[in-house]
């Protein structure tokens, strides 16, 4: 059984590397497929990363 946190982290870093919010959203839709909860958790991480001061 895979570690869900590890998958979240992997998806987060991959999405963060994409240049546009639309690209990240498309990537997460494909990568998370029917796992809506996973997609929402990763999107929350991305929002938190975007809100942090530089």
Domain boundaries, the chain: 4-51
Task: Flag whether pLDDT at 1 surpasses 60.
Answer: no
Task: Flag whether pLDDT at 29 surpasses 60.
Answer: yes
Task: Flag whether pLDDT at 33 surpasses 70.
Answer: yes
Task: Flag whether pLDDT at 17 surpasses 60.
Answer: yes
Average pLDDT over residues 27-51: 96
Distance (Å, whole) CA 29 – CA 15: 11
Cα angle vertex 43, ends 23, 16, to 5°? Answer: 50
pLDDT tier at 5, thresholds 50, 70, 90: confident
What value does the mean pLDDT of the chain take? 93
């Amino acid at each position: 059984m895979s570690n869900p946190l590890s998958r979240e982290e992997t998806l987060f870093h991959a999405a963060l590397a994409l240049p546009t919010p639309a690209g990240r959203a498309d990537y997460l839709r494909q990568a998370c497929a029917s796992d809506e909860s996973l997609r929402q958790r990763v999107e929350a991480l991305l929002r938190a990363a975007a809100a942090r001061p530089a």
